[in-house]
Amino acid sequence: MKSAILATVSAFALTGSFAIAADLPARTNKLQGPAPVFTWSGLYVGASLGGLTAHSKVDELTYYGTAAGFPMTSANGAGAIASLNLGYNVQVGNIVTGVEADIGWTNARARGSEFVSGEYNFIRIDYSTLGSLRARLGYAFDRLLVYGTGGLAMADVKSVGDHQYLPGGTPYNGIAIHNHSRNGWIFGGGLEYAVTQNYSLKAEALYQDLGNVTSGVASSGCRFGFKKNTSSIVRAGVNYKF
């Protein structure tokens, strides 16, 4: 009798175990692939906003055809700058090399004046379009890139020298204006951080030198030399890598 009871209990226990097992969800073994490895290699485009500070030293070379003898005039100013860029990177290990071209628009204006014995020199330098073609060399800490950059700088600049003279209380102006495209060099560095596989944020500081230029001769014989035309650019932006 005891044996029959034990056999019956065992049968019910086994039946219950199979029923519970049947009710459990099926176990799945879905293997997830490794996360994609980030690389800085590839073509990218971007945009940035920032500020530009401009500096120049201006010498009045002649007045009425003779040496002016005026002291050098300093011109300084600032403005906003908006830029678009296109570039390509190649990453080998942690080293990232590349090339980048950009074009920007600015309202920066540098002004300066000098006064000597009733005569004035007023200087104005207006920047409009700027561009550069630069090489880049950086070191990648995974998604953080630290880089240096340098190359050719270009800009459209309007330079104005105005000599004002008051002989006998009658004002007289000699204005020399020079509109020109100028070439020079640019260098700097920055940081870039990849937020996703495609988007990255950047901040950079650049210094450019557009060299020297001499204005034409005004009707009064005024002629100005615009020297040490330099500017500093600080900007932040976003890049999209294809």
Is residue 32 in a domain?
no
Give residue 29's pLDDT band: very low, low, confident or very high (50, 70, 90).
low
Q: For residues 85 and 123, is the Cβ–Cβ distance under 8 A?
A: no
CATH of the domain at 125: 2.40.160.20
pLDDT in tens, 208-226: 999 888 776 776 677 788 8
Is residue 183 in a domain?
yes
pLDDT in tens, 98-108: 999 999 999 99
Domain that holds residue 183: 41-241
Is residue 35 in a domain?
no
Q: What is the pTM of this model?
A: 0.77
Is residue 9 in a domain?
no
Say which residues have a Cβ less than 8 Å from residue 178's Cβ, sequence separation at least 6: 158, 159, 160, 213, 214, 215, 216, 224, 226
Is residue 74 in a domain?
yes
Query: 20 is written with which tokens?
Result: 């519970």
Number of domains observed in the structure of the chain: 1
Is residue 167 in a domain?
yes
Is residue 113 in a domain?
yes
